[in-house]
């Protein structure tokens, strides 16, 4: 049996260039499907696609994203990292491997360029790929009365900020003592902080907001979470990495005058009142990223962060280049 009999596609909406790439991708898959065991192609109904333009009126099903997640054996995401993060949260519980085609800016997660689609798809169909697993955070709000919000998934990070962006907030950080019972164990106090907020980052998200906040780059193979204070009032309040096997608890404290805002991947939002807590633990299912053969995480860092490269030449103030 072919490894990916059902291929699902999710594309960035409202982007003409991404729509063109989506149409090219569908045509390519239809041409190559018969010889590679692909039995069905699904496109999310929130993608911009004109089936008449693809010539695929009978070759593609347009389905809701939740149905795509349940049926797909592989997903292809066309867009930027934000598109992939949104798609991944709907796919991760089904452990669907994801291949990203970049129509964004940096593209840490969507690594295949639009001009590399044919070669990348060919490599996948020829078995020249591997699947890397990245752990995901599950976050929920425990209100002061003990009630819990439904859990939300975060691929990159969970961010705690003051709703009044120019004011600091005060919060405590705690770590569970028992890795076997992360949410039912006693909590060990880490510290009390005054800062503009806090970034709780997975290794996947360590090259995103956490990096801008002075946090470390965490290799995807690490089972660790970075806690990165945002503009801390005390300069010695530095980022710290803790085991991903332990749960994390963030409690808003202080004078109680300012409520906080909690965001998962910059896309899912919660309000946090005084004495509410954010509780996070490693989610049951990992994100599965499909990489064509030859992928290198360190080469990706060099390419995206311009490590080890000479600066581009710039004209002198006089404009004569001397």
User: Residue 81 catalytic?
Assistant: yes
Cα angle value 196/198/200 (rounded, 5°): 165
For residue 85, which of 156, 188, 171 has the smallest C-alpha distance?
Answer: 156
Report how far residue 304's alpha carbon sits from residue 298's, in angstroms, rounded to the nearest whole number.
10
11: tokens are: 């594309």
Name the active-site residue from 81, 157, 196, 265: 81
State whether the Cα torsion 148-153-158-160 is positive or negative: negative
| Contact residues for 313 (Cβ-Cβ < 8 A; gap 6+) | none
91: tokens are: 């796919």
For residue 151, which of 278, 287, 286, 288 has the smallest C-alpha distance?
Answer: 278
76: tokens are: 């292809």
Q: Tokens 């390519």 sit at which residue?
A: 28
Question: Which residues are known catalytic residues?
Answer: 81
């Amino acid at each position: 049996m072919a490894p990916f009999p059902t291929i699902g596609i999710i594309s960035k909406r409202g982007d003409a260039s991404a729509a063109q790439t989506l149409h090219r991708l569908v045509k390519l898959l239809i041409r190559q499907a018969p010889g590679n065991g692909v039995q069905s192609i699904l496109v999310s109904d929130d993608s911009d696609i004109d089936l008449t333009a693809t010539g695929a009126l009978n070759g593609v099903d347009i389905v809701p994203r939740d149905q795509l997640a349940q049926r797909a054996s592989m997903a292809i995401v066309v867009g930027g990292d934000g598109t992939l993060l949104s798609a991944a949260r709907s796919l991760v519980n089904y452990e669907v491997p994801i291949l990203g085609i970049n129509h964004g800016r940096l593209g840490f997660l969507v690594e295949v360029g639009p001009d590399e689609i044919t070669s990348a798809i060919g490599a996948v169909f020829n078995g020249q790929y591997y699947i890397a697993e990245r752990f995901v955070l599950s976050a929920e709000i425990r209100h002061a009365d003990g009630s819990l919000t439904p859990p939300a998934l975060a691929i990159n990070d969970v961010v705690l900020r003051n709703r009044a962006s120019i004011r600091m907030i005060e919060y405590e950080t705690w770590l569970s003592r028992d890795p076997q019972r992360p949410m039912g164990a006693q909590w060990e106090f880490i510290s009390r902080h005054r800062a503009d907020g806090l970034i709780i980052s997975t290794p996947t998200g360590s090259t995103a907001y956490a990096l801008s906040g002075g946090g470390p780059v965490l290799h995807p193979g690490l089972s660790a979470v970075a806690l990165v204070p945002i503009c801390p009032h005390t300069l010695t309040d530095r980022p710290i990495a803790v085991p991903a096997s332990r749960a994390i608890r963030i409690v808003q404290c202080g004078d109680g005058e300012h409520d906080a805002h909690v965001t998962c991947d910059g896309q899912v939002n919660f309000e946090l009142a005084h004495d509410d807590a954010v509780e996070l633990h490693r989610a049951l299912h990992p994100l599965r990223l499909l990489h064509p053969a030859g992928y290198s995480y360190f080469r990706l860092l060099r390419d995206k962060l311009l490590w080890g490269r000479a600066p581009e030449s710039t004209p002198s103030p006089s404009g004569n280049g001397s």
